[in-house]
Chains A and B, each alone.
Chain A
């Protein structure tokens, strides 16, 4: 049985579905396999954001630390999702906490390495930015729907 490389795993992942083989090769050079046991903090709000994670298995809870209150989970991510977009923007720091709720396997992509490759190859940077913009739009839309408090009482009867 042949072992699948980082490149293979990225090429199979939904997030990179429309990217060219050449760009996948470039991205793979910045990646490494990681495994987080359940209940592991992957990121804390305010920490430097040096990586983003392409999730392969497991589940990650994205939450907000609430002083003197229980932490609030605002989203969960799983296989097919990407955790972290903070590395794209300067200064790169995590905007949320991220905690695994199950053992989670992922590919960690190094933000410094990626930014350098995107600067050198604007086409790669543009494709990657398109993918992240799509995710940001989806999450913004989901947040708006959550804010609408859809399941509240709207009528009497």
Chain B
């Protein structure tokens, strides 16, 4: 029997792609499992991995799903050479994985409270495990509210999950919105922050999980505060240019924080002041 190899932080481990799903024209979700002899990683919602497209390069990608048996799900948008290579992976191919890294959403600390998930665009990917965790432990939480925004209807990721949650699950509120649409779209049109004001939850006893472009997170935080959610109960996920992922290179430094080590998830009270500094 092969002894399982324990991952060194700088050494990519080979994982096999077992499923590929094309979410939109440029977003792909792929499911991977450790190859024989590779130890499963203990990852948490909100953490990220460094994914290697062999012969091309490495990028940080958040976990968009955690499955039994060490099976991991990542969702990648093609925005450059490496991510484009990752979106072209097929089942059976090998991808290199380093991780997991960073501080996650710590969903379990919201037990007993309402959960409000506010996601924009590809920012929904790291939040899907939050919703899955809440549904798997439904009695531990109050209301679960999921608010998702995208540019156009055809750019909405995880549409099957959203539909399943909205239709088949009584005790979760799902609202989606797009920036613009034709008359064949039956959902909301407008920015996702507008949905915050309309959603039903107990603001004083809610924890909000927000991920999306930084401008969207700023406006979402303001909308949540206007609803009465204390700043310390709002968590944001920061995206910066992670390279080493082990707090050595400094590429992802933001103010006093090294995002790969201190984040990517922060309390809004800590992160928000840095998101409003001009020139960063």
Contacts and interface: CB of A to CB of B under 8 A. Distances in A.
Contacts of B55: none
A141 B151 CA distance: 17
A150 B180 contact: no
- Which of B187, B194, B219 is packed against the most chain A CB atoms within 10 Å? B194
Nearest to A138: B194
Interface in A128-149: 138, 141-142, 145-146, 148-149
Contacts of B188: 59, 76, 78
A22 interface: no
Question: Main SS of chain A's interface residues?
Answer: loop
A157 B83 contact: yes
Nearest to A154: B213
A152 interface: yes
Contact of B79 (A59, A99, A153): A153
Chain A contact patch, size range: 20 to 34
Interface string B81-106: 11100000000000000000000000
B186 A101 contact: yes
B222 to A, nearest CB: 10
A155 interface: yes
Interface residues of B, number: 37
Interface in A51-76: 59, 61-63, 70-76
Contacts of B180: 72-74, 146
A150 B83 contact: no
A80 interface: yes
A120 B13 CA distance: 77
Given A70-B182, A75-B189, A75-B190, A148 B215 contact: yes
B189 A150 contact: no
Nearest to B184: A70
A20 to B, nearest CB: 23
B191 A151 contact: no
Interface in A62-99: 62-63, 70-76, 78-80, 99
Contacts of B185: 73
Nearest to B212: A150
Nearest to B217: A150
Contacts of A73: 180-183, 185, 189
Contacts of B120: 150-151
- Which of A59, A73, A75 is packed against the most chain B CB atoms within 10 Å? A73
A154 B177 CA distance: 21
A156 B81 contact: yes
A89 to B, nearest CB: 23
A76 B216 contact: no
Interface string B113-127: 000000011100000
B189 A61 contact: yes
Contacts of B190: 75-76, 142, 146
**The 7 residue pairs across chains A and B that have the minimum distance between CB atoms:** A156-B80, A151-B121, A150-B213, A151-B151, A70-B182, A157-B80, A76-B189
Interface of B: 59-60, 77, 79-83, 120-122, 149-151, 155, 177, 179-183, 185-191, 193-194, 198, 212-213, 215-216, 219, 241
Interface of A: 59, 61-63, 70-76, 78-80, 99, 101, 138, 141-142, 145-146, 148-157
Given A61-B183, A99-B183, A141-B219, 8 more contacts: A73-B182, A74-B189, A150-B212, A151-B151, A151-B155, A155-B241, A156-B80, A157-B80
